[in-house]
Amino acid sequence: MAGKVHRKGTTVALAPAGVGPLGRVAQGGRKREGFGNDPYPCLAGILAGATVRGAQEQGVIACTKHFIANEQEIGRNPLQATDANKKTIETLSTNIDDRTMHELYMWPFADAIHAGTSSIMCSYNRVNELYACHNSHLLNGLLKTELGFQGFVLSDWSAQHTGVNSALAGLDMVMPSGLIYWGPNLNQAVRNRSVPESRIDDMATKILTAWFYSGQDSPDTPVVGVDLPADFTRPHQVIDARDPADAHNLRQSAIEGHVLVKNINNALPLRQPDIISVFGYDARPISIYNVGTDGRGTWLQGLNSFRSSICGFHSSRFQSCPLMPAIQFNGTVWTGGDSGVATSTYFISPFEVISEEIRKYGSTTFWNFETYGSNITVNAQSDVCLVFINAIAAEGIDRANLRDDFSDGIVKNVADRCHNTVVVVHNAGICLVDQWIDQPNVTAVLFGHLPGQDSGTVLVDILFGRASLSGKLP
């Protein structure tokens, strides 16, 4: 991944992400970005350190985030009230005692710092009633002094809410722009001695040190932002940064991301079934995956729709955000939704590969992606019934709940009519399965999580035993 980032002309990889939360809010929209809720070296710490080393070995600055306790998306920025008093509702505050902070929350950041992370991003939320990005106790005290962090601290997008205070608290870089609170205001603060000139020197030194440390002064470094147009509302230039040598690692990562949570009666692996029946909205590809507008609006309208889908991302004052729908009904979920999602060059859905696999055996495939109620028909001769459901999550929006009655109904209705029902869940977070997991006809359950563009190919290799399952729930 870092190799692709480097070849794209990007100087900083905003990763490892999701290191800060412990999962106190199970519905948190960004839980899927992290390595799990265990902060100790066996999970978040070790993996954060490995990510940092992998990124910076490729000449990219690693940015470990978010410091700290970024537990949820709802309320992550201030809310400007619409009443006559215009009273601001401040960002949520994660309140933590000192022991919990040191023994749990700081641990993976310590491992990332030991691995040499060049930057750390401060989070949107407040910590003990003070905004993380102008909280001197967090940035100067815990991060730079106790943990000995030598790199630069940058804000999450529009997470800066003060000028002088944030500079003195240890913030070194503001994203996406410092013109609101810094810029000329910071110049004035230096002139009137509100901010020492040495603090500005310290900011610049830390940023430039990271640039040299990652080797970005090399003549072999691609031009910064090589694929970005001057006008961000226009389509960007396509830079193919893929490396064929990565194919094996990508495939293996997708395989190891699958977790077998139930398998009775030797349901898996499948053994050349004569009749296989496929159900569920998640089995097929999404209905539209295309450039252009397809009559559905302009490029700029699409950009604005994207901004609204991660409510509050571009502004520190925003309207109340809705909760995330529980599922993506339009097809297979293979990635989460947020500002860092990449578009794939192709996508292979489970149903496509299942159909091809069964064709090789000369067997029969039945499917129904339209009927979901109690009147669903299942071929009584089916050797196996595959049911595909999902659970989605995205930045900027928390999930409404951890279960979906609609998806549960599909599984139960099929299992009532099929003696060998295998359920595949593509889940971007916690997914409750208590409504059907103990149903005797549900013989196997596979959590596929977010397998990427080769979703179908990898899944079929797992179902038919050509790939071994080794994934564990975090």
Known catalytic residues are: 156
Contacts of 322 (CB under 8 A, 6+ apart): 311, 397
Which residue matches tokens 């001197």? 136
| Distinct helix (H) and strand (E) counts, the chain | 13, 15
C-alpha neighbours within 13 Å on the C-beta side of residue 263 = 14
Cβ pair 320, 328 in contact under 8 A: no
HEC string of 319-366 equals: CCCCCECCCCCCCCCCCCECCCCCCCCCCCCHHHHHHHHHHHHCCEEE
Measured CA to CA, the distance from residue 181 to residue 144 in angstroms comes to 23
- What gap in Å lies between CA 103 and CA 119, rounded to an integer? 22
Paired sense of beta strands 275-279 and 384-391, if any: parallel
H-type alpha helices, 280-343: 299-309
Cα angle, residue 235 at apex, residues 231 and 241 outer, rounded to 5°: 110
State the helix-helix crossing angle for 247-256 and 455-463, rounded to 10 degrees. 60
Q: Which two tokens stand for residue 144?
A: 């730079």
Instruction: Classify strands 364-368 and 384-391 as parallel, antiparallel or unpaired.
Output: unpaired
**How many Å apart are CA 9 and CA 15, to the nearest integer?**
16
- Tell me the residue type at 256: E
d(CA 224, CA 204) in angstroms, rounded, equals: 19
Phi, psi of 262, deg, nearest 5 = -155, 140
Report how far residue 334's alpha carbon sits from residue 467's, in angstroms, rounded to the nearest whole number.
Answer: 19
